[in-house]
Amino acid sequence: MSEAVPAKEAAALDAADGLAAKRAGFDLDDGVVYLDGNSLGALPRGVAGRLSDVVGREWGRLRIRSWEESGWWTAPERVGDRIGGLIGAAPGQVVAGDSTSVNVFKAVVAAIRLTDTGVRDEVLVDAATFPTDGYIARSAARMTGCRIRAVDAADMAREAGPRTAVALVNHVDYRTGRLHDLPAVTAAVRAAGARTVWDLCHSAGALPVHLDAAGADFAVGCTYKYLNGGPGAPAFLYVRRALQDRFDSPLPGWNSHADPFAMDPAYAPADGAARGRVGTPEILSLLALDAALDVWDGVDLAAVRAKSLALTDFFLRCVEAYVPRGRVESVTPEAHGERGSQVSLRCAAGPAGGAGDVMAELIRRGVVGDFRRPDVLRFGFTPLYTRFADAERAARVLGEVLEGMQGR
Ligand SMILES: *Cc1c(COP(=O)(O)O)cnc(C)c1O
């Protein structure tokens, strides 16, 4: 297949792209096609300058005064509200801090504590979950006298029953890119009398999420993927407002105390989102995240979603055009309503090696995706900076690599 037709189409799509100008807000090199923003988002240009001010002036000159004067102390709630704006949460319900793993622990244990554990002793976990969620949920269940039951996320609504305390679900499956129906599952789990904890790692910043509207109970997610907060950026925790007064954190650190500086030996929880805090916030990474979130100012998430679907559709068509027939198979759902912002291609081992070797060769040729064992090539599409031309080039290079490896 000649490259002329898809390349021309890519140019037309890029020219008509209302989000195209957003790419200039990122520090990207045109020689590389970066399709791994679902693992580590690219660097927004504003971060370095902001961090240099935080380090040089706020820490260097103001030192301890910055906890008040530079707003460090309240940054977890302030940044949490900015994230809330991107996941359909009204202010006061999201706090930034800790890792997703730690926030899964807080949310699952708190959800169990909200139920009558004598009756409800079952924790449902998405059978294909990102491993950390499963490990943490299992430990939370052991600590609370519950048991874990792994069920297909697609069956979660049907499986929640009178024994279920909480269902922990990945909104988008990290391996296949399958998007689960958050409103429907939330409603069904609630109808069964249980709570939901949503892991938004692969949906926050990738597509519109409407936590409040869906009546979700808890949500967690990381900020170094589609939110571009940087390596190890703090995660977030959402607790629905109606549950905040009863939210009983299993990690009640001094930062979540109603009056932290009273240094009271007795614990009294703070009101609102601050109750989700634990210890001293990770200020440098939190403020890097704060700066990174500036790229979202004025962005319409519906436009992000439309471009994401157009990009993944276009990439799949280019793969069909360029890749030798039968060499790869998409495991990402075709239906838009079931697709996140990535394409995962199963690539069986050929004469030249397996999917890991194919991805290594792609990266050598300037197309960066990632490989998930045993046989998945994963390509993440980040609408704020991925161009249709990138999708075309990635598919073309993939075709060249697989052709070159055939019969070798
Ligand atoms: C990336 C990811 C995580 C990562 O958790 P950390 O604690 O940040 O390492 C957790 N859950 C899901 C679904 C993920 O995709």
Q: Which of the residue ranges 94-98, 112-116, 130-134, 302-306 would you say has the lowest mean pLDDT?
A: 112-116
pLDDT band at 200 (very low <50, low <70, confident <90, very high): very high
pLDDT one-digit tens code per residue, 279-338: 999 999 999 999 999 999 999 999 999 999 999 999 999 999 999 999 999 999 999 999
Nearest to 360 by CA among 371, 351, 350: 371
Contact 155, 198 (CB under 8 A): no
List Cα–Cα distances, 50 to 74, 290, 332, in angstroms.
Answer: 18, 9, 38
pLDDT one-digit tens code per residue, 389-408: 999 999 999 999 999 876 54
Cα–Cα dist 22/226, whole Å: 14
Domain boundary among 279, 296, 313: 296
CATH number at residue 387: 3.90.1150.10
Number of domains in the chain: 2
More confident residue, 241 or 407: 241
Tell me, in angstroms, the distance from the centre of ligand 1 to residue 356's CA.
Answer: 21
* Residues 316 and 285 both lie in one domain: no
* Residues 217 and 108 both lie in one domain: yes
What per-residue confidence (pLDDT) applies to 199? 98
224: annotated active-site residue: yes
b/e sequence 324-351, b meaning 16+ C-beta within 10 Å: eeebbebbbeeeeebbbbbbbbebeebe
* Residues 273 and 320 both lie in one domain: no
Cα–Cα dist 105/144, whole Å: 12
User: Which whole number is the average pLDDT over 82-110?
Assistant: 98
Among the listed residues 26, 34, 218, 224, the single catalytic one is 224
251 within a domain of the structure (yes/no): yes
The verdict on the CB of residue 122 being under 6 Å from ligand 1 is no
82 within a domain of the structure (yes/no): yes
User: Which whole number is the average pLDDT over 143-171?
Assistant: 96
The verdict on the CB of residue 236 being under 6 Å from ligand 1 is no
pLDDT band at 2 (very low <50, low <70, confident <90, very high): low
What per-residue confidence (pLDDT) applies to 17? 98
CATH number at residue 153: 3.40.640.10
The verdict on the CB of residue 103 being under 6 Å from ligand 1 is no
Contact 124, 164 (CB under 8 A): yes
Answer whether residue 183 shows pLDDT above 50. yes
What per-residue confidence (pLDDT) applies to 336? 98
**Which atom of ligand 1 is closest in space to residue 172's alpha carbon?**
13
Q: Which residues contact 7 (CB under 8 A, 6 or more apart)?
A: 389, 392
pLDDT band at 254 (very low <50, low <70, confident <90, very high): very high
Among the listed residues 17, 181, 199, 290, the single catalytic one is 199
* Residues 109 and 21 both lie in one domain: no
190: annotated active-site residue: no
What per-residue confidence (pLDDT) applies to 399? 96
Tell me whether residue 59 is exposed, middle or buried, using C-beta atoms within 10 angstroms of its C-beta: 0 to 12, 13 to 18, 19 or more: middle
Cα–Cα dist 335/107, whole Å: 31
Domain boundary among 266, 296, 326: 296
pTM of the model as a whole: 0.97
* Residues 189 and 335 both lie in one domain: no
What per-residue confidence (pLDDT) applies to 408? 47
Provide the token pair at 192.
């069964």
pLDDT band at 4 (very low <50, low <70, confident <90, very high): confident
b/e sequence 83-95, b meaning 16+ C-beta within 10 Å: bbebbbbeebbbb
User: Which whole number is the average pLDDT over 183-190?
Assistant: 98
* Residues 119 and 212 both lie in one domain: yes
pLDDT band at 99 (very low <50, low <70, confident <90, very high): very high
Provide the token pair at 332.
């990402």
**Which atom of ligand 1 is closest in space to residue 101's alpha carbon?**
7
Q: How many CB atoms lie within 10 A of CB 147?
A: 12
pLDDT one-digit tens code per residue, 51-65: 999 999 999 999 999
40 within a domain of the structure (yes/no): no
Contact 196, 220 (CB under 8 A): no
Binding residues for pyridoxal 5'-phosphate: 100-101, 130-133, 199, 202, 224, 254, 280
State the average pLDDT for the chain.
96
**Which atom of ligand 1 is closest in space to residue 199's alpha carbon?**
13
Q: Which residues contact 142 (CB under 8 A, 6 or more apart)?
A: none
* Residues 119 and 238 both lie in one domain: yes
Domain boundary among 238, 265, 296: 296
List Cα–Cα distances, 17 to 6, 20, 254, 308, 343, in angstroms.
Answer: 16, 5, 48, 11, 20
Domain hosting 74: range is: 48-296
Cα–Cα dist 15/213, whole Å: 35
22: annotated active-site residue: no
pLDDT band at 117 (very low <50, low <70, confident <90, very high): low
Q: Which residues contact 268 (CB under 8 A, 6 or more apart)?
A: 257, 258, 259
257 within a domain of the structure (yes/no): yes
Q: Whose CA is nearest to atom 2 of ligand 1?
A: 201
User: Which whole number is the average pLDDT over 238-244?
Assistant: 98
